[in-house]
Amino acid sequence: MWSGRPAGWLGGVITIDGLVKRRGGKEILAGIGFEARPGRVTGFLGPNGAGKSSTLRILLGLDRAQAGTALVDGVPYPALPDPVRTVGAVLDGSGAHRSRTGRAHLRWVARSAGLPPARVEEVLTLVGLADAAGKRVGGYSLGMGRRLALATALLGDPSVLVLDEPLNGLDPEGIRFVRTFLRDRAQSGRTVLLSSHLMGELAETVDDVVVIDHGRIVAKGTLAEVTGAHRNLEDAFFALTSGSGR
Amino acid sequence: MRAVRAELSKLSTLPSVWLAALLAVVVPTGIALLNRGVAGPDRGYQELAFGVMGVIVLGVVAVSSEYLAESADSGGGRQLTTSLAAVPSRLRFLAAKALAVVLVAVPLAFTAAAATMGVVQARLDAGRLAGVVCYWTYTALLAFAITVLLRHGIVPLTVLLVNTSVVSVTFLLTKVTPLANYFPDMAGVRMFVGKVANDDVSISPLVGLLVMSAWVAGLLVLAGAVFARRDA
Amino acid sequence: MIRAELSKLVSLPATWTTLAWTLAANVLLTFVIAVGDAPVAYSRAGFIVLGVLATCSEYTGGQIRTTLTAMPRRVRQLAAQHAALAVVTLPASLVVALSGPLITMVVAGTPVALWQVAETTAYLTLLTLVSAAVGVLLRHTLAGVGLLLGCLFVAAPFVHEYLPDDLVTLVVSTPVLLIVAALAYRRRDA
């Protein structure tokens, strides 16, 4: 697709191919594949239990797939030379031990990537947690925990952001913040891959859409392509995943 | 009674409770097997005194499981919130839980005693066996009450398990002051162990029972009072 | 990577509470019941708790996901974690190992047996590392602490005659358990 890298190219192509995951005899992923490209927000949509989180966990090297590959710039995540600066991940919850303070949590992640402590203060301000940084994570609200997870992901100013249900547990202001923020990231040439089961919330944010149901990809393409003849993304989604029990 | 039934079903669905049950039977019989060569009037009873590990685990996890934060995936909540929504009266909740622990501990003690006595083939003595069951149940309740007070299982588990060692800390303390004989475990074992190694204070089984009962009752009341007052 | 793991360990309040209580218990026991390093037989429980906590705390609040996304090479991360733990434990073991004999020296005038202090320090450090490895395998703090304490305090006295010296047993079992833990850690889903 690219003939040589243009100036300012940050990299960050996510390529997923033929992923198969079985757990306890149950097939969770049945050979899924798609791509997320720089400069675009890719929405990974599907009902609860469709296999979204499993896919993202395999992409991040947290879970193992029985077959298939999930690569970032052609490299499996665990082999990335500098993971924190390449990919930022926001999974469920805060991803922090509850008896540590928010600042202490970010500090150890920063140390693992050799980032200066000043960067910790920057991301704390960026997500609006500067005032709560000295508090234990156990005392955080759901929304604050999510902001801490986002701050962790942004520490290395990575070229790829992977977010699992980023809007869960956020108040309207938080949702607005995350949406604008993700658009800005894509605008600056970075890759954003986010999963969600909330269609309405996403239509204005995503460029590309991948729809998964029962461990299979049922549609992928640009927002316009997937929406197709349907009234909106939500209608298209229910048409594509009808009979899945949602 | 519904609350007790709910607590029983909670206990029976905790894997660690099944592990505790296994330990309760395996530990004293195992010790008895390894100790086969040793003879004496306290054969079997001695092993049952050391083998209380299982009921300690039972008492601790019955409470600590309520305070354990679930994984972030399920919202990071504590089961206690659900429990108190179902049984809003704190004292009734705690009483139901304690009763459920007793209902599990008693048959466990019987099973363990039967298995251990089977191994050592000692003459059975109903009074002493009642003492064993009582000691085991009380130990579970002690672990239970201390965990309620601390809201965390590690400390009571560590302290109580360390103290089940053959030469227990409380036993060593008796060398410093005879008062240490009135610690719950030291007093409680008198219910069924005739001779606690080179002891110089003689406590009758009845006094032992009374002393340990007082400890358990006191700690349970304290745990109840604290639990009723503090935020869940 | 070791610095990240160190800062993780150091910012965990439980690390300090455990060490403080262990030292306090050791000093108290020295005064009350025994002389020299005998109380270590009991206060080693604190080091077991420390080791298990160090690895099991990963599984609180989903921190393991943050850890493995930041440091995806698992075996190296685990090695760094154990190295950091050793860095914290070694001085702590030394303090605990010294406290008993020092008190005895002040009170009774018995000289401190340096060789024995060194042996105790090594024992406590290795015990902490073994506990950490068990923590990795079990992923559950209470289970790890229960299992190790059960082995050491309940079972060990009865099988003692079949085993070599405590320290020798540990020197052999530490690398074995570490390798088993690393293999399991590398293979399984986080």
A140: its two tokens: 């955080």
User: B73 — contact with chain A (CB < 8 Å)?
Assistant: yes
Convert the pLDDT of each residue in A37-69 to its tens digit: 999 999 999 888 889 999 999 999 888 899 999
Exposure on the CB side of residue B61, measured as CA atoms within 13 A: 27
Of residues C34, C42, C142, nearest to B154 (C-beta): C142
Residue to mutate among A100, A144, A168, with most C CBs inside 10 A, is A100
pTM of the model: 0.83
Domain that holds residue C51: 2-187
User: C146 — contact with chain A (CB < 8 Å)?
Assistant: no
- Cα distance between residue C111 and residue C119, in whole Å: 16
**What is the percentage of chain B residues whose pLDDT exceeds 70?**
91
- Cα distance between residue C156 and residue B138, in whole Å: 25
Q: Do C71 and A83 touch (CB under 8 A)?
A: yes
Task: Name A34's bridge partners.
Answer: A16
Structural domains for chain A: 14-93+158-235 (3.40.50.300)
Residues of B in contact with C49 (CB under 8 A): 154, 158
Number of domains in chain B: 1
- Cα distance between residue C67 and residue A105, in whole Å: 10
Do C45 and C149 form a contact (C-beta atoms < 8 A)?
yes
- Each residue's pLDDT, cut to its tens digit, for chain B (232 residues) gives 778 888 888 888 888 888 889 989 998 888 888 777 666 777 788 888 888 989 999 999 999 888 876 444 444 457 887 787 777 788 888 999 999 999 999 999 999 999 988 888 777 788 888 999 999 999 999 999 999 999 888 999 999 988 887 778 888 787 777 888 888 988 888 888 876 665 666 788 888 899 999 999 999 999 999 998 887 6
Number of domains in chain C: 1
Of residues B69, B73, B75, nearest to A98 (C-beta): B69
Q: Do C11 and A100 touch (CB under 8 A)?
A: yes
User: Across chain B, how many H-helices and E-strands are there?
Assistant: 11, 0
Do A202 and A22 form a contact (C-beta atoms < 8 A)?
no
Residue of A nearest to B71 (CA): A93
Four-CA torsion B220, B226, B230, B232, nearest 10 degrees: -10
Mean of pLDDT values over A166-195 = 89
Do A106 and A89 form a contact (C-beta atoms < 8 A)?
no
- How confident is the model at residue C37, as a pLDDT? 61
Measure CA C45 to chain center.
Answer: 8
- Cα distance between residue A149 and residue A163, in whole Å: 10
Convert the pLDDT of each residue in C100-148 to its tens digit: 888 888 888 778 888 888 989 999 999 999 999 999 999 888 889 988 9
- Cα distance between residue A89 and residue A59, in whole Å: 10
- Cα distance between residue C184 and residue C190, in whole Å: 11
**What is the percentage of chain C residues whose pLDDT exceeds 90?**
44
- Cα distance between residue A225 and residue A210, in whole Å: 11
Domain that holds residue B192: 2-229
Residue with tokens 């020296």: C105
**b (16+ CB within 10 A) / e for B161-198:** bbbbbbebbebbbbeeeeebbbbbbbbbbbbbbeebee
| A–C CB contacts, 8 A cutoff, strictly below | 96
- Cα distance between residue A237 and residue A229, in whole Å: 12
A243: its two tokens: 């009979």
User: C162 — contact with chain B (CB < 8 Å)?
Assistant: no
